[in-house]
Amino acid sequence: MTRKSLEASIDKLSVAALRVKSERDDFLDALHEVRELIEGYVDVNDGDYGVPEANKAMRAVQIIDDVIAKTRRPGSAAEICSECKTQKCRHGYCAQCEVCQTCAEHTRTVTVQQSN
């Protein structure tokens, strides 16, 4: 590979990376807009045997939140908790304000393996 072709490849990669970032940002903006529209409909229904369960809007908001958490890049400005200013885990949860079940399970598994 010549230096000229390498530079051309790097330029193409830079353009592609900017396009992906722009598309990801547009996707996240659209998700936030949809979330705001349906947030007012979030409620619980009486489920089986009187146990409350999430209605369709609540389930949709939960799915949107999961997608947003998985789509954001760790360490980005969006990954800092607005309440306590602590960096969130890679799943989008703040260790000070929330509990990430995935991280908590991983921590328990690692602790048990190390003690054996």
| Segments forming the whole domain that contains residue 107 | 79-116
Answer whether residue 116 is part of any domain.
yes
The DSSP H or E segment spanning 32 is: helix 3-39
Answer whether residue 39 is part of any domain.
yes
pLDDT tens figures, 53-75: 888 889 998 998 888 887 765 44
- Residue 96 shares a structural domain with residue 115: yes
Contact 84, 97 (CB under 8 A): yes
Q: What is residue 23's predicted lDDT score, i.e. its pLDDT?
A: 85
Contact 91, 100 (CB under 8 A): yes
Q: What is the 3-state secondary structure (H, E, C) of 41-77?
A: CCCEEECHHHCEEECHHHHHHHHHHHHHHHHCCCCCH
Residue 95: which pLDDT band, with cuts at 50, 70 and 90?
low
- Residue 63 shares a structural domain with residue 92: no
- Residue 84 shares a structural domain with residue 100: yes
Q: What is the Cβ-side half-sphere exposure of residue 99, based on CA atoms within 13 angstroms? A: 5
Answer whether residue 25 is part of any domain.
yes
Answer whether residue 12 is part of any domain.
no
pLDDT tens figures, 10-67: 888 878 877 887 888 888 888 889 989 988 898 988 877 888 888 888 999 899 888 8
Q: What is residue 112's predicted lDDT score, i.e. its pLDDT?
A: 43
| Number of domains making up the chain | 2
pTM: 0.51
